Amino acid sequence: MMKNIPVEKNKDYIIDISGMGSEGEGVGKIENFTVFIPHAIKGERCKVKIVKVNKNFAFGKLVEVVEPSLNRTEAVCSIYNRCGGCQIQHMSYKEQLGFKRQQVKDVINRIGKIDVEVEPVIGMENPYRYRNKVQLPIGKENGEVKIGFYAQRSHQIIDISTCYIQDEIGDKVIALTKEWIKKYNIEPYNEEIHKGSIRHIMIRRAFKTGEVMVVIVTKTDELPYKEEFVNIMVQNIPGLKSIMQNVNNKKTNVIMGEKNITLWGKDTIVDYIGKFKFNISPLSFFQVNPIQTDILYSKALEYADLKGQEIVFDAYCGTGTISLFLSQKAKKVYGVEIIKEAIDNAKVNAKENGIHNAEFIVGKSEEVIPELINKGIKADVVVVDPPRKGCEKYLLEEIAKINPKRIVYVSCDPATLARDLGILKELGYKTEKVQPVDMFPQTGHVECVVGIRRKDSL
């Protein structure tokens, strides 16, 4: 028998916000029935319109803040509540950091059943304009060209002229691209009918060198008014080093295709994390917040506590960025990653930086690491930096079998981190240090570096 649900869709209610959800939404209750309200803050009283009702909870839209929190601030962006790129611009930055720390504390305690001190989140001096890469869909609506982010949970393009979390050069490229499309009446891609030529624009700016890459993603090899596009960019974008065309002819939500054509300049730009140099191509993975990445990786190196004689496994190594940091103080680093192109990049990165004690292997970490162990290669320290879904339990069990003294876990999802820390606890490991780092200000995301030690080595 279905329980009585005390809210109705499209009706307004006054709700006291008693908590915060994992993506920065406010959480309130009506007769003990949970309602999630984006853009509301704990401690506020709000007028809310119910927009979706499920069996155990509902979603509401903020209509009015009746009693605001002292931590509420005016969002700098006029389209912030429509665009989907940021979730918590309405919070003061101090409150954002406090919210993220509490999220990490709560899940580690609730899911991992671990009682550990979570350090204050390392924030940014300036929590805006921090992204070194932005990629935006291009479309047309009622005859108007639109370049922007998709609205949350939709493919409606919210047109933007400025984005406060990307580098200012991106705003300029957006305006010039729009001008070029209008002037030459170029038809943007329509994903519903799979017609039109221009799909996305991507801008990358290297923070340390100032080099800029502009990538135009097209449906076909043919780019209409190509020379005019190159000219408008070359004449107006300072620091421009590369203009690329990426071809994606598939009917897909994946942004980039596999084929790149150099239209002008070089096919890569150069940036640094710490002292390490990286060549970045259109398809390269490179952390989007280089200032905080430097802090994140330095903290991982600190928690690894290397003395110079250790063998290190770096699971989910990507393009080898953490491996290079670890190689400074390790005897040998083995980096493992399933994506072949990333491993190819990692090998180039190691060579470019004169690193000879890092070896990179293509494959699943949960398969390659047991193979290394079977060959008699045992790690003193293991670093894992898994995707959002966390580590496979089997991999954690295999790691525990070789008894590394220390494990360093770099996480982009507190919930799966907490689950995995609980598994490692059962396998004889103690979580010692948890350091959240704010890689994505104005959003609900938080990264963590965790220091873990084998209990019998304490």
For residue range 90-104, what is the model confidence (pLDDT) as tens digits?
999 999 999 999 999
Q: What is the mean pLDDT of residues 101-123?
A: 96
Bridge pairing between strands 381-384 and 311-315: parallel
Alpha helices, DSSP H only, in 243-355? Answer: 290-304, 321-327, 340-352
pLDDT exceeds cutoff 70 at 15: yes
pLDDT exceeds cutoff 80 at 78: yes
Q: Which helix (H) or strand (E) holds 144?
A: strand 144-150
Tell me, what's the pLDDT at 1?
34
Of residues 77, 83, 412, 448, which has the active-site annotation?
412
Q: What is the mean pLDDT of residues 275-287?
A: 88
Mean of all residue pLDDT scores within the chain: 93
CB of 210 within 8 A of CB of 239? yes
163 is known as an active-site residue: no
The 10s digit of each residue's pLDDT in 373-430 is: 889 898 999 999 999 999 999 999 989 988 999 999 999 999 999 999 999 999 999 9
The 10s digit of each residue's pLDDT in 26-77 is: 999 999 999 999 999 999 999 999 999 999 999 999 999 999 999 999 999 9
Tell me the domains of the chain and their CATH numbers: 12-72 (2.40.50.140), 97-125+289-457 (3.40.50.150), 133-280 (2.40.50.1070)
The whole-angstrom separation of Cα 117 and Cα 432 is 8
pTM: 0.90
The 10s digit of each residue's pLDDT in 349-373 is: 999 999 999 999 999 988 999 899 8
Amino acid at 286: F
The whole-angstrom separation of Cα 81 and Cα 95 is 18
Q: What is the mean pLDDT of residues 302-331?
A: 94
- φ/ψ bin of 102: left (φ > 0), alpha (ψ from -120 to 50), beta (otherwise): alpha
The 10s digit of each residue's pLDDT in 154-185 is: 788 999 999 999 999 999 999 999 999 999 99
